[in-house]
């Protein structure tokens, strides 16, 4: 955060938090966990709001002392009525923040080194976020989502604990052309644990209900399956991502 930061007033902070949810140039961060990761991975934080400043700073002192000073320099305490209007559902901790959304192109994601996670039309933003979180933790190079779901939606950011800031994350309509190996994660494939996944590959993961489309399966150089007990048809999307990305770590 720049040294010349001028802390805005309560009304301006509330307005900026309210506007951030539908603004594709901004990211709304719900809870201290997401704010912590955003700060650690270089987010440009514009405003931080709370209805319990001592509680928030105590929580961060316990859980993330490395970001306490930065949050303390920015946080603005809102009056209860104003705070209530901003909080659509219970928050994990008394904190709402706004960051600038990084400009990440599909090309940026495809040029990243390491494995690229590709989620085809995820339906649940919680799954999407959980997959981003494990991809960041496992050291993947980037995340691409195909279809309408915005990987920077506040719900996905909350589920990812803000780790979209840790690796290039973008959305594309369809799978772009690539020279990299493409691996489909598919219950009908050959065993995942038989041999390592390519370290520079695209890992395709299907949508929750239907799995990968025939068109995407046709783009894959190989299909790999995570072993399951007979009778179990599939793993949760984010769980499958975790097993695959940690298979050789």
Residues in contact with ligand SAM by CB under 6 A are: 185-187, 205-206, 208, 211-212, 225-226, 228, 233-237, 240
Minimum separation from the CB atom of position 205 to ligand SAM (A): 4
For residues 116 and 240, which CB has a smaller minimum distance to ligand SAM in the complex? 240
Cα–Cα distance for residue pair 164/168, rounded to 1 Å: 7
Q: How far is CA 62 from CA 30, 32, 58, 71, 79, in A?
A: 19, 12, 6, 14, 25
Q: Considering the complex, state which of residue 100 and residue 193 has its C-beta at the smaller distance from ligand SAM.
A: 193
Rounded Cα distance between 233 and 235, Å, is 7
Looking at the Cβ atoms of 67 and 185, the one nearer to ligand SAM is 185
Residues contacting residue 182 through CB under 8 Å, at least 6 positions apart: 201, 202, 204, 219, 220, 221
Give least dist CB 132 to ligand SAM, A: 15
CB of 2 to ligand SAM, least distance (A): 42
Pick 97 or 237: Cβ nearer ligand SAM: 237
Burial class of 109 by CB neighbour count within 10 A (0 to 12, 13 to 18, 19+) = buried
Nearest-approach distance from CB 124 to ligand SAM, in angstroms:
10
């Amino acid at each position: 955060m720049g040294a010349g930061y001028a802390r805005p007033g309560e009304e301006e902070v509330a307005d900026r938090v309210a506007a951030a949810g539908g603004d594709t140039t901004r990211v709304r961060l719900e809870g201290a966990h997401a704010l912590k990761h955003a700060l650690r991975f270089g987010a440009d934080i514009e405003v931080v709001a709370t209805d319990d400043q001592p509680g928030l700073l105590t929580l961060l002192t316990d859980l993330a002392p490395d970001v306490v000073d930065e949050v303390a320099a920015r946080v603005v305490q809102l009056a209860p009525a104003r705070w209530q209007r901003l909080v659509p559902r219970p928050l994990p901790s008394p904190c709402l923040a706004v960051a600038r959304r990084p400009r990440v192109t599909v090309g940026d994601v495809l040029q990243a080194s390491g494995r690229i996670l590709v989620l085809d039309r995820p339906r649940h933003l919680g799954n999407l976020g959980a997959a981003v979180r494990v991809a960041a933790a496992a050291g993947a190079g980037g995340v691409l989502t195909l279809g309408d779901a915005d990987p920077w939606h506040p719900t996905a950011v909350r589920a990812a604990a803000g780790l979209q800031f840790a690796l290039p994350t973008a959305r594309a309509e369809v799978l772009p052309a690539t020279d990299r190996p493409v691996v489909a994660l598919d219950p009908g494939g050959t065993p995942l644990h038989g041999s390592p996944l390519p370290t520079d590959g695209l890992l395709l993961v299907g949508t929750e209900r239907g799995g990968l489309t025939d068109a995407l399966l046709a783009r894959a150089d190989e299909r790999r399956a995570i072993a399951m007990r007979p009778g179990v048809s599939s793993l949760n999307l984010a769980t499958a991502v975790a097993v695959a990305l940690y298979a050789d770590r």
